[in-house]
Amino acid sequence: MGTFYCAICRQTTFTGKRHIFGKNHQSRLRVVLLKFVEKVKEARRTLKKPQVEKFDCTQHKQTFWCYCCGLNIESNVTDGNMAVLHGGLLEHMATPEHKKNTHKFWWENKADPKLRDKVIIAEEETERFKVEVAKALESYVEKEDEYIKQQADLLRAQEKHRQEVLQSLLEVCFPRMQWHVMQSRSRLTDPTAPTCLRRILSALSFCLKDQSSRWGAASWTPWLKCRGLQQDKA
């Protein structure tokens, strides 16, 4: 007898020894089958009412281990945009290969025959499931289109409101801004207006005259004449 690995007990039996399918094996087998049957039972609930959701790589890339076939199967069916929950599991359970491997697994492990049919999906059930999936996908697409239209209407309403607020601000604030601009221009062009620039020039002229009186008018006269700040003495 060659090397034999038992996935239930997670033990390897080498040449010259034989794996014992005794109480320890049956106890572990019972736990495994109960979990396996419960997972298939959960998937069966969606046969008449398939669940279609938007694809999420963190949730819809789950896999399950089929003890009968010794394969890791994807639980859901997805195209990258939508996901049919438990679609992969139901599809696998309905294949002829799974049915054949299930009978072999039950015979080798001496499992409870009452649980065998609970992990096999009939072909008629999968055909009805495909019809319901088509309806569910159509309904999902219609809901997505309606949602997109609602979002587009919301964006248009927000843009319209923004334009109205901007227009009202222009109507209220722009006339005031024009009035202030006109007032500023009139002050700059009015020669009698006590502007800051005139005060600065007057102060500068006073300082220059004071310096010329201290250090001598001769050195400052050319500079004053150049800038038109010197006054003729009477």
Whether 48 contacts 37, CB under 8 Å: no
177 vs 195 pLDDT, higher one: 177
Cα separation, 125 vs 119, in Å, equals 13
* Half-sphere exposure (Cβ direction) of 18: Cα atoms closer than 13 Å: 4
Find the helix packing angle between 196-215 and 217-227, rounded to 10°.
Answer: 150
pLDDT reported for residue 234: 39
Q: Which amino acid is at 129?
A: F
Cα separation, 126 vs 143, in Å, equals 25
- Would the CA dihedral through 188, 190, 191, 193 be positive or negative? negative
Over residues 131-153, mean pLDDT: 86
Give residue limits of the domains in the chain.
Answer: 44-145
- For residue 160, how far is the Cα from the chain centroid? 27
Q: Is the pLDDT of residue 97 over 90?
A: yes
How large a percentage of the chain has pLDDT more than 90? 4
pLDDT reported for residue 224: 52
Over residues 50-55, mean pLDDT: 86
Q: Is the pLDDT of residue 172 over 80?
A: no
Q: What is the mean pLDDT of the chain?
A: 75
What is the per-residue pLDDT across 20-36, written as a single tens digit (0 to 9) for each?
566 777 778 888 888 88
Q: Which amino acid is at 115?
A: L
Mean pLDDT check: name the lowest of 16-20, 98-102, 115-119.
16-20
Over residues 158-164, mean pLDDT: 86
Q: Is the pLDDT of residue 184 over 70?
A: no
